[in-house]
């Protein structure tokens, strides 16, 4: 579904096909709500189909450099959340770096300590840091969740236009139903229980079907010694 089709579905379900003043919302107002709702749907689905929203990026550290800007230095322009960061050495097992919160930094060496990093954390929303501070060039592979782009056109996906949500097609109607949740906050006239039931039923179907195993898999999780190759 494209943005124009999603807007039509919203107005059809709300039984209000015209813009304000006859209707409750202008199209531009609905467009803003659609972008909020597609982010809400992404957040809800990430837990069930993380593979759909995941991206990867390889990058390297520099000697004696502790912090790295996610966009300009790690090289991720569509960053939303990290999943994991692995040490990426040819011929060796990928080794996951531990994620640390700022109040846990005391466990990871002295201030200014240098060597091969074994942990990372967020310096701020745009920057990550390494512990220990890299004493050379080390290669890493980051797994991260992508921030889906805002819709800015009704019908055209010709760059730079974005009309189709970067969500599984079967999940597109969830955007309309989530917008109707916001619609009712303003109008108070919709059948909220019916809308919620429709949303939950569709969400279950989408999450259940898309999260089904897609091949052989091992459910056994290695212990930490296996992870670290010790």
pLDDT value at position 227?
A: 45
pLDDT value at position 217?
A: 67
How large is the average pLDDT for residues 185-197?
82
Domain boundaries, the chain: 3-49+168-210, 53-146
- What is the DSSP annotation of 22-55? TSS--HHHHHHHHHHHHHHHHHHHHTT-HHHHEE
Please tell me the pTM assigned to this model: 0.83
CA distance 15 to 36: 21
User: Residue 73's pLDDT band (boundaries 50, 70, 90)?
Assistant: very high
């Amino acid at each position: 579904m494209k943005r124009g089709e999603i807007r039509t579905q919203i107005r059809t379900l709300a039984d209000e096909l015209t813009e304000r003043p006859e209707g409750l919302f202008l199209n531009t107002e609905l467009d803003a709500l659609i972008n909020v709702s597609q982010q809400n749907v992404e957040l809800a689905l990430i837990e069930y189909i993380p593979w759909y929203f995941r991206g990867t990026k390889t990058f390297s550290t520099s000697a004696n450099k502790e912090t790295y800007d996610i966009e300009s230095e790690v090289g991720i322009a569509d960053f939303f959340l990290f999943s994991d960061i692995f040490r990426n050495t040819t011929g060796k097992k990928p080794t996951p770096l531990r994620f640390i919160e700022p109040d846990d930094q005391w466990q990871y060496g002295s201030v200014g300590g240098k060597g091969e990093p074994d942990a990372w954390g967020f310096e701020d929303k745009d920057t990550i840091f390494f512990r220990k501070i890299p004493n050379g060039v080390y290669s890493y592979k980051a797994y991260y969740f992508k921030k889906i782009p805002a819709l800015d056109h009704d019908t055209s996906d010709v760059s730079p236009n974005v009309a189709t949500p970067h969500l599984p097609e079967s999940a597109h109607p969830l955007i309309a139903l989530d917008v109707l949740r916001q619609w009712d906050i303003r109008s108070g006239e919709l059948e909220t229980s019916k809308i919620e039931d429709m949303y939950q039923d569709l969400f279950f179907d989408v999450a259940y079907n898309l999260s089904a195993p897609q091949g052989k898999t091992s459910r056994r999780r290695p212990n930490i010694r296996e992870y670290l190759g010790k």
